[in-house]
Chain A
Amino acid sequence: MLPKAEVEETLKRIQTHKGVIGTIVVNAEGIPIRTTLDNSTTVQYAGLLHQLTMKARSTVRDIDPQNDLTFLRIRSKKHEIMVAPDKEYLLIVIQNPSE
């Protein structure tokens, strides 16, 4: 297990990568733990992506209940939204790959 400092460091590093617009960590209730965006945007992202993640997970597990969703990437015209879902939290990174 990495020490706490390393986790923070990794998060910071992620935020400084090329093209990364924002990084959000929210807990299961949608309360942001760490975020680099403003609160309203954070809440909006968290709420919408939570529902999408539930649906994606339900889809994956409906096909095979022993399977589970590990990562979710949504590529749009402008950005790419990457979600690492978990029961307790959601890790969301929005990146603009063309930058």
Chain B
Amino acid sequence: MRLYLIVSASPSLCPGDNPQATHLPRAWAPLARPPPHGSRLTADLFSTNPGALKSPVSEQTTTPEDQRSPEDPLTPPPPAASLTPEPHNPGTPPDLFESVAEGPVVVQGGSPKLSSVPLDLPAGGNGGEGKQQEVSLEEEGDEPDIFDTMSSPKLQLNQAEGDGGDEFIQITVSDPQKIGDGMSSYMAYKVTTKTNVSYFRKKHWSVMRRFSDFLGLHRKLVEKHLHSGRVIPPAPEKSAIGTTKIKLGSDKNADSGSLDFIERRRAALERYMNRTSTHPTLRADPDFREFVELDAELPRATQTSALSSAGVLRLLNRVGETVNKMTFKMDESDQWFEERTQQIESLDAQLRKLHASMERLVNYRRELALSTAAFAKATAVLSSVEEHSSLSRALHQLSESTERTQTIHHAQADADFYVLSENTKDYIQLISAVKDVFHERVKTFQTWQHAQITLAKKREAKAKAELAGRMDKVQQAQEEVTEWEGKVERSQEEFERISRAIKKEMEQFDVMRVKDFRDMVIKYLEDLMTSQQQIIKVWETFIPEAKAIS
């Protein structure tokens, strides 16, 4: 059965907006293997939102689309998921808001949970459903292996953002495929976009892109926008080991390790795309548009290859920058920046630590799932050997109960991973991007300082020339002085401009970050709670069996 569950991300809210517009972080609905189980699971989680969402399963919080203020650079919200109001309802369906506005929606059902579901949108749209949000749990039919083992919910982020009007854009990355063979093979992904933004040609379409295309896009965006003070969402990292394994392995023998890797990457790419598209400036960027729209293969972004000359150059540049970062101590006159820089640093360190402990949790829980499975088997054997019949029956039941518990643990481990750990990792990378932006500012400051110093030198040279009575030199010196005066002015402007821009971006970033974090944690707690409730059921069914031993 195919259920679709799309969670759309709401755009970051401008401060002061409807506080109840919540951003749904990427949600991971733990999909238990047996679909009915899983879907029931998420069904419990979400209270259905009558009215606007006729989703069978989950409800999503609404995107306060109409609350989007036409303010400028909204930082790309983290993949918050919110319900996308029907695109054809520009005046955001009031019911959505009402339902959200009802009391502590945050908590039960109506909480800004994102249930993500492995979503594989068929290229041609969903069977004629006009609604943009499909809420259903999807089980990948095409590639049962991958999704069965991973039961990966694909997050859909959609942001309703834009200047005026209910714009929304939703990007899914799906269908990872290996194209070609051997070392020259690569992974291609289907990028499906749904949007009502005006400058896109269509409302709903798909293109195929390969991994290096994503990286190329990121690089171009950085080149173009970083120096304007924008926070560019980071792209997923390259991984030599993972990719080589995939390249050299055959499709049939794709082991669960590679499948895991593919799924992680797919999810990361999806989050990346959605984050980027939430940012209105980035979304309007022609390279971005070409990326999502162009129906042909993009020119190979060979420059992204690590071994190319451009790659080496980039590496050298990066090294240089790092040295620069470490050595140049800026004379910070702006206290805001002083504080923020420190805060960013400590946030970074703390998040890394937190992430490490989350990874440990994931590992332990996976271990728990494995050892529980082993125990279930051993108990089954014991049950078959046991000669006392009712004890044997009870032991058999124990084995089955443990088997079910194992599934629960496994799903919870996935939730641990995707909801908590991967999101935190994304955040660490976003903080990195923030640091990059801050550093851009430092660089402009450096330029300004350098210009000032040079100006002083030029003035000095001119004065010297005047003293020496060298009229020809004076003329030249005067020109240079004027030139550098201009440069000083411009670089100062640049510096102030970027400082302002960053402050604004950071405001949005903060709001979005806080929301996202809350939502992520809430989602996770809910998942945890659901797991416990399932465990309750397992044991409740077991107890009478145990009591029946005679």
Is A bound to B? no
Q: Which residues of A contact B (CB under 8 A)?
A: none
Q: Which residues of B contact A (CB under 8 A)?
A: none
